[in-house]
Each structure stands twice: as structure tokens, then as C-alpha cells.
Structure 1
Amino acid sequence: MSEFTGFPTEALIFFEGLEADNSKAYWTDHRATYETAVRGPMLALLAALGPEFGEPHVFRPYRDVRFSKDKSPYKTAIGAHCERGGYVQVSASGLMAASGYWRTAPDQVERLRAAIADDLRGPGLEDIVARLRADGCEVSGDQLRTRPRGYAADHPRVELLRYKTLTAHRGFGEPSWLGEPACAEHVASAWREMRLLTDWLDEQVGASRLPESRR
């Protein structure tokens, strides 16, 4: 495994081209660039982050188009995940790091809302969300259009109660350090900051306890 030295400009240029021509012909013609400027640096980044953040997984570049009207064959970003850290992505827009709960089963949503509504636990999440947003992170997720059934419209945390999933992410764009080894520390620092949210979610929500068929 090569030492991580950052993501070269060619990585972003590759995805700019893929956005303009999402075809097998483009992919085949530029496969060498993908391997050396995109996938190689991502694997090296994950190796650098692994000792602190755990087992990595790089997502496949191919889209699942079976149930999609969009039949474009390739994802226009490379994404990866570390089990104790979060998600990291490089696209034409640059670098992004994220963490939180992207998918939730019905029992997790129930526990999430109960914790938010609770006057002892809910304010803690309010403070975390406010702190992350003040530091430049975006906190978002899948939301209901209105309050969930069973909760008062004037609940002090009604906006948080609308969330079914909850994540934090920081878009870095294309900073000067993107092509430098320091890029790894910026991703690590973002994940450490986002632990405020993931720790709260792990404690108050945790993994689904439902059978796989009911999630």
C-alpha cells in the first residue's frame, strides 16, 4: 500500500469528465486515471485512518440501475466508510466527510423520537446540533413534512422530532491541502468532531433489534 499523499487535481477532473459523459467508453478510456488518481489515494487514505477509525470499506463505482429511471452506469463520486469514523467522499465538487445514522429501521426511529422528546435527553441533542452547525457542519436527514403522530405541534423540539435519520457532514470543497498528506488529518478531525452526534445516537438509539425482514 502506498503512503497517502493526498488527492491530485486529476481526481476531480476525472469526475468532471464522468459527469459530462457517464458512459462505458469514457470509463474505459480513463480507467488508468481512476486507479492512480482516485481509487489508489482513497485506499491509501483509509490505510492512514484505519488505526484510529477501524475497518474500511470502499463502495463500488457502479450504480444499481435495476429500479432507477436514470440508467447512468457509474457513480460520480468515490465513497468509503470506516466503522468507527464515518463516510468520506471525493467528487468533482471536492472532498466531503460525514457521520451519523443514514438508515434507520422502525424501532430505531421510535427510540430516536422518544429520546428527542425526553426533557432530560433531548436538550443534549439540541446542544450537539447547535454546536456542529456553529462549527460549519450541516446536520440533516430524512424528515417528515409535519410532526410525527403522537407528538404535540408545539413541542419545543418538534423540528428534531421530524427526523427519521440524522447525519452530520462537512463539505471541504477543493482546499489547498487536498493534494497533501495533511488531508488525512482534516478528515480525522471532522470525524472526531462528529462523534458528538454519533455517540449520542449510539447511546440513545443503537442498532435495530428487529428481524432483517422487518427493517
Structure 2
Amino acid sequence: MSSFKGFTPEALDYFFRIELDNSRENYERLRPVYQRAVREPLFALYDALTPLLRLIDPGICHRRARCVPTAFADARIARYPMRTYTYLHYCAEMQSEENVPGFYFEFDARGYNCGLRIYHYSAASMHALREAAAENVEEFQRVLTPLEGTGLKFSGEPYKKPRHAGAPEPAALWLNAKTWRIERAVVPPDELFFSPALTERIADDFSALADLYHFLRTLSMTTHARQFL
């Protein structure tokens, strides 16, 4: 039985206070709040969701150290020392480190979202993925169509000019976008965020996205293999 009880307003307040003063000193003052309101519930949510993710893909990366971040931002790319949001993510284990599909849940001071996206991409790798999807547009349509009406919305960055203007909907949204992401965004957070039922909401969304995940995983492996032909 899951120990996840939902998050509290204190979790949102922690990130709000970090945004106001993004310093290690402020984090040290807030460390007990972070541990109590952010880290411990996030670990419990991880424990609740991981069995489902392993059913969707037994080979998915599910090590907690890879799925749950620390409070500190990535110093290689961040301007400030502390994260202003947190997340869970579960990414496909693949030979290639590019175009990796992964499930995610994340929240900050304003709300939360959950869904599926492509990680570790470049312009060239995304071009290859789009072209491969266009070659398999009927299958792409098959996995995308059931997601209509679920509340999961495509939120990738579109091109100013369509690259595949004749593609059918909903595949056209993806084929004419620079980045790929589909998610449920809840801003401000609803009552589920503060409830154990958040687990069920996320699990339902991840389950709905499972066929798309497998399609993208296969597509990514195919484009990677083509590089060596």
C-alpha cells in the first residue's frame, strides 16, 4: 500500500520562497521544509508509481537516484544554485543517448504537469525522428487518436512554417513541431495535488500514453540504427 498522502501547500510555498531568494543560505534555512514537504512525499509518489512504469516497460530506467532530483540545480546550465521545481521522470533505457522518450511528473510554485516527452535531442536528431514518424504516419495516427479528449495536450514548440503541411491530424501537430511533449498541465493545482488520488491521476495518464511511448521508443531506436547503415 502506498504511503503517498498528497502534497501540502507548504510544498508550493517552499518553491515560492526559493524563487524569491535563490541562494544556498536560504535553502539551508528551508531545508526542513524541503525534506518534509517536497522530498519525502516525492519519494512516496515514486514508490507508488514505479511498479506501473515497470509494467509498461520492464527495461525502463527506474533507479530512484536517476528518477528523483536533488534540491540543487545542475551547475553546468543553471544560473542559480537551487531548483525552483522538482520532478519524477522515467526514461527508456537505450543504446543511443539522443531522442529518449520518458514519462514525467513535475511541479513548482504555480502548479503541476505530467506526461510524456522526448529527452536529449538535437535539431538533427529530431529531424530524423520526425521523418521516421512521417514514414509511419498511419501507426502514428493509431497511437495518437485515442489520446484526444483525455485532457492530455500536445505542447511541443511549433515551426513558424509547417514542415509536413499535408499530414493528417493529430499527427500533423507533431510533425510540424521542433520539440515533442504531451502533457496534462494543472495551474493552479487542483484538489488532487493535495490528495492520495494524485497517484491514480498520474497512473491513468501514464497508462494512456503507453502505446505512444512504445511507438516513440521503437522509432528512436530505428533512427539510431540507420546511422550505422
Same fold (TM over 0.5): yes
- Measured on the aligned residues, the alpha-carbon RMSD in Å equals 3.1
Aligned-pair identity in percent equals 25
- Offset at residue 38 of structure 1 (A): 0.2
Structure 1 counterpart of 2:174, from 157, 160, 171 = 160
1:74 is the counterpart of 2:73: no
In 1, distance between residues paired with 2:114 and 2:18?
21
- Structure 2 unmatched ranges of 5 or more: 55-61, 93-101
Structure 2 counterpart of 1:64, from 48, 51, 74 = 74
1:67-106 equivalences under 5 Å are 71-83=79-91, 86-104=103-121, 106=124
- Offset at residue 141 of structure 1 (A): 2.4
Other-structure match for 1:27 = 27
Q: Deviations over 1:182-211 (max 9, x none)?
A: 21111111111122321221233337637x
- Offset at residue 168 of structure 1 (A): 1.0
In 2, distance between residues paired with 1:165 and 1:206?
18
Normalised to the residue count of structure 1, the TM-score between the two structures is: 0.78
Other-structure match for 2:58 = none
The letter for the 2-side match of 1:30 is L
Other-structure match for 2:59 = none
Q: Determine which structure has greater relative contact order: mean sequence separation of CA pairs < 8 Å that are 6+ residues apart, divided by chain length.
A: 1
**SS state of the match for residue 174, structure 2?**
helix
The number of aligned residues is 203
Alignment CA distance shift 1:101-1:208 (3 Å): same
In 2, distance between residues paired with 1:67 and 1:205?
26
Contact kept? 2:132, 2:223, Cα under 8 Å: no
Contact kept? 1:76, 1:91, Cα under 8 Å: yes
In 1, distance between residues paired with 2:153 and 2:224?
29
1:110-125 equivalences under 5 Å are 110-116=128-134, 118=135, 121-125=136-140
**SS state of the match for residue 196, structure 2?**
coil
In 1, distance between residues paired with 2:117 and 2:186?
18
Contact kept? 1:108, 1:207, Cα under 8 Å: no
Normalised to the residue count of structure 2, the TM-score between the two structures is: 0.74
- Offset at residue 43 of structure 1 (A): 0.6
Q: Deviations over 1:99-145 (max 9, x none)?
A: 131333535631432322x3xx3144346445435322121324443
- Structure 1 unmatched ranges of 5 or more: 211-215
Contact kept? 1:104, 1:208, Cα under 8 Å: no
Tell which deviates more after alignment, 32-41 or 22-31. 22-31
Alignment CA distance shift 1:147-1:74 (3 Å): same
Q: Deviations over 1:168-189 (max 9, x none)?
A: 1112342223222221111111
Alignment CA distance shift 1:163-1:113 (3 Å): farther
In 2, distance between residues paired with 1:170 and 1:138?
6
Other-structure match for 2:199 = 184
